[in-house]
Amino acid sequence: MRLVPTFCHPWPLAQAQQPKAPAGEETNSDQANMSPEEERQAALNSYRAKLIESREWEAKLKNLRLEIKGLQKEFDRTEDNIKALQSVGQIIGEVLKQLDEERCEQHLLLGLRDGPRAVTAGNAVRWLIVKASSGPRYVVGCRSKVDKAKMKQGTRVALDMTTLTIMRMLPREVDPLVYNMSLEDPGQVSFAGIGGLNDQIRELREVIELPLKNPELFLRVGIKPPKGVLLYGPPGTGKTLLARAVACSLETNFLKVVSSAIVDKYIGESARLIREMFGYAKEHEPCIIFMDEIDAIGGRRFSEGTSADREIQRTLMELLNQLDGFDYLGKTKIIMATNRPDTLDPALLRAGRLDRKLEIPLPNEVGRLEILKIHAAGVCLDGDIDFESVVKMSDGLNGADLRNVVTEAGLFAIKDYRDSINQDDFNKAVRKLAEAKKLEGKLDYQKL
C-alpha cells in the first residue's frame, strides 16, 4: 500500500498563531462602538443586577442574624438548665426565735441537734433558732447579705444543705385560693355611677376610706378606727357595687371572698383558709376584704346539727377570732354583704367586729330616676325621653331591674330594626319587668 503525503494550507495556521486581543480591549472596543443611549442602558442593567444581588445578601444576613439570636437563646436556656441540675438544693425552714450570745450558749448546752456545727459555720453576730421542714430545730447563723432585722418569728427562710446557714428570706406561703382572691379585678366603678345611695356612700366612706387616708384624725381625737361594715338589703340594690366602688377609689389591695367557697369538706381546712386570708391581708396592708354572702358561714350557731354544720360553726369561730382577737388588724378593713341579715349570728354583729350596719334599701322615686339616667347615658336615644313617666311605672324595682329596663328597651328597638330607643320602648320594657316582678317573693328587712 502506497502512502500519499498530504499538505495543509498555510493560512489557517498563520491565523491561529496571531495573538488574541485582551478582554478589556474587546470591552472597550465594544463600548466604543456603542451609542450613548446603549451605554446608559447597559449601566442601568448592571446597577439593577448589583442591587438585586445586594438585597439578596442583605436578606441572607438578616436570616443568619435571626438564627444566631435563636441559637443564643437556646444556649442560655440550656446553660440555665445545666446550672439548675448542678446546683445544690436548700432546706426550707421557719424562724422560731432570735438569740444573743449568752442564750445561744445555753441552748447549745441543752443539746439542740447539730447546734455546734451550725454555730461554727456561721459568721453572723446574731443567732437564730430555726425549725426545718423535716421537723428538727437548729441554732444557725445568717448570711451577711441577709437583713437580720427582718428575721422575726414565723419568717420562712432557705437553709444551706451542709452548714444550715440562712441563705435567703422566702416570701410567705400563700394558699392558691387566697392568691386568686387577690387577683380579682373590681373593674372601673366610681361613686358617681351609683344612684340613690348618697347617705350610704357617705357612711361607708367614713368607715373604710377615712381611716386609711387620714389616720391622724383618729389619733388626734383618741379613738380607734372602725374595723368593718355590714351591707344588708334586698338583692339587686347595689351592695356588691358599693364594695367595688370603694376598691376602685382607694389604691389598696382588695380581696374578694365568696363565703360559700371557703367551706371545705375536710375538718379544719376552712378555718385555715380564714387564717391565711387575714395573714395575707396584714402583710399587704392597706387591704380591704370583701366577703359576699356572709350568711353562708355566719349563720346562728345551734347545738344540734350534722358534721357539715359543725365545720361551718368552726369556720365562724375562726372568723370571730380574726376580727376581734389579740392581733390588731391595723389597716385591714372588712366589708360584708348579705340579703339575709336575720340569719346572722349575734356574735358577728356586735360592736368591735362590725361597727356599722348599713341598710341598702330599694330606691325611692328620686333614686330610681338617678339610676335610670345613669344606665341610659351610654345608649342611643330617639329624641327626648320622659324618664319621670317611666319611673312612676317602676314602683318596687331595684337597681338591677332598672338596668334591665334599659336592656329590654334596646331589645325592642332591635326587633323593630331601629338604631335608637324611643319612649314607647321604655314603656313596654318597664311594663314587662313589672309583671315579672310580681312572681318574686318579698322579704321584710328590719334594721339591725
Task: Compute the average pLDDT of residues 297-326.
Answer: 81
How high is the pLDDT of residue 411?
94
Of the pLDDT bands very low, low, confident and very high (cuts 50, 70, 90), residue 114 is very low
Task: Compute the average pLDDT of residues 66-83.
Answer: 92
pLDDT in tens, 408-425: 999 999 999 999 999 999
Residue 413: its H or E element: helix 399-415
How high is the pLDDT of residue 409?
93
Determine the 3-state secondary structure of 337 from DSSP. strand
How high is the pLDDT of residue 35?
83
pLDDT in tens, 349-358: 888 888 899 9
Find all residues with CB under 8 Å of 409, minimum gap 6, and list them: 421, 425, 426, 428, 429
Question: Sheet of 287-292: strands edge to edge?
Answer: 253-258, 287-292, 332-338, 228-232, 356-359
Pairing mode, if any, of strands 356-359 and 253-258? unpaired
Of the pLDDT bands very low, low, confident and very high (cuts 50, 70, 90), residue 154 is confident
pLDDT in tens, 18-62: 445 454 455 555 555 778 888 888 889 999 999 999 999 999 999
How high is the pLDDT of residue 10?
45
What cell was used for 281? 391581708
Going from the N-terminus, what domains does the chain have, and what CATH number goes with each?
Answer: 91-170 (2.40.50.140), 177-359 (3.40.50.300), 365-437 (1.10.8.60)
How high is the pLDDT of residue 116?
41
How high is the pLDDT of residue 429?
92
**Does pTM surpass 0.85?**
no
Of the pLDDT bands very low, low, confident and very high (cuts 50, 70, 90), residue 299 is confident
pLDDT in tens, 332-350: 899 999 988 888 999 898 8
Cα(279)–Cα(282) distance, integer angstroms: 5
Q: State yes or no: cis peptide before 286, omega within 30 of 0.
A: yes
| Alpha-helical runs (H) found in 193-250 | 198-207, 209-213, 215-221, 239-249
Range of 80-94, 115-129, 405-419 with top mean pLDDT: 405-419
pLDDT in tens, 173-231: 777 778 777 777 777 888 888 888 889 999 999 899 898 888 898 889 988 888 889 99
How high is the pLDDT of residue 384?
86
How high is the pLDDT of residue 86?
78
Pairing mode, if any, of strands 356-359 and 166-170? unpaired
How high is the pLDDT of residue 305?
67
Residue given cell 441540675 in the structure block: 85
Determine the 3-state secondary structure of 184 from DSSP. coil
Of the pLDDT bands very low, low, confident and very high (cuts 50, 70, 90), residue 125 is very low
